[in-house]
Amino acid sequence: MSENTEILLEVENLQKFFGDRHVLNGISLQVKRGEVTVILGPSGCGKSTLLRCLNGLEPVQGGTIHYLGQNLTGEHVNWREIRQHIGMVFQNYELFPHMTVIENILLGPLKAQKRDSKEALQQAETLLDRVGLLARKNDYPRQLSGGQKQRIAIVRALCMNPDIILFDEVTASLDPEMVREVLDVILGLANQGMTMLIVTHEMGFARSVGDRIVFMDQGKICEIADPEQFFTEPATERAQQFLNIFEYNKL
């Protein structure tokens, strides 16, 4: 784990506006290879927007994002190429409804990456097997439960062999009993050293999977802390208030 100090993503003073609203106000963040960063914060604090900026789904109005030294905020960024290295999993799965599970997974590897179909298929099946869904490879998304769909969406991102995967509230649309199966997959990835940025509202999960917690509020990073530190003794009052909301036993 000696090379784990390589910086994959470097965000500096990122600025993002939706009309008059200042959604991201001076975000600076570094992501090292193999690191699991969990982003927490109240609704509307800009955490999902931050992820979307990192994948080029939202234009930014100021600051810089560097991926392995390459500037992603300049002119003529080849997002097609970048997105093959920075994968994303969405809240509502967003599988393609007209394709089977295996077609969903192979679309990127075959069409965007132009990989050998045998090799890609083999990898897809290995990954499907690992999330326990190999038997469903010829099913359509509509035949699957929410948790299964989300596991497929994770496999779809993984099969691109990305350097980083961004998880945007991936359990927020799931029934409670399906949250676990999805979180287990992500936890497994963390143990294998996958670099991930995770936006979530699952506090217990954040604590166990995160190498560090980034707490955001009103478009700013309030604090960056080790999970144990953050959940026991948060440095800022804002984080303390936020955590209190989740302490139902104190009601």
Identify the residue among 70, 79, 226, 246 touching another protein (CB under 8 A). Answer: 79
Answer for which of 39, 45, 48, 90 binds another protein (CB under 8 A) is 90
**Applying CB under 8 A, does 170 fall inside the site for another protein?**
no
Interface with another protein, residue 95, by CB under 8 A: yes
Q: Which of positions 2-31 make contact with another protein (CB under 8 A)?
A: none
CA atoms of 238 and 51, how far apart (whole Å): 22
DSSP string of 220-237, one letter each residue: EEEEEE-HHHHHHS-SSH
Q: State how far the Cα of 75 lies from the Cα of 106, in Å rounded to an integer.
A: 30
Question: Judged by CB under 8 A, does residue 121 bind another protein?
Answer: no
Helices 176-191 and 146-158 sit at what angle, rounded to 10 degrees?
20
- CB nearer to another protein: pick between 108 and 234: 108
| 55 lies in the binding site for another protein (CB under 8 A) | yes
Which residues, in sequence order, are CB contacts of 1 under 8 Å at separation 6+?
Answer: 34, 193
Cα separation, 226 vs 242, in Å, equals 16
| Residue owning tokens 């927007």 | 49
Regarding 97 and contact with another protein (CB under 8 A), the answer is yes
Minimum distance between the CB of residue 190 and another protein, rounded to whole angstroms? Answer: 21
| Residue 57 interacting with another protein (CB under 8 A) | yes
87 binds another protein (CB under 8 A): yes
φ, ψ of residue 102 to 5 degrees: the values are: -70, -35
- E strand or H helix that includes residue 152: helix 146-158
Using CB under 8 A, which of 31, 88, 128, 206 touches another protein?
88
Contact residues for another protein, defined by CB under 8 A: 55-57, 79-81, 83-84, 87-88, 90, 92, 94-98, 107-108, 111-113, 142, 156-157, 160
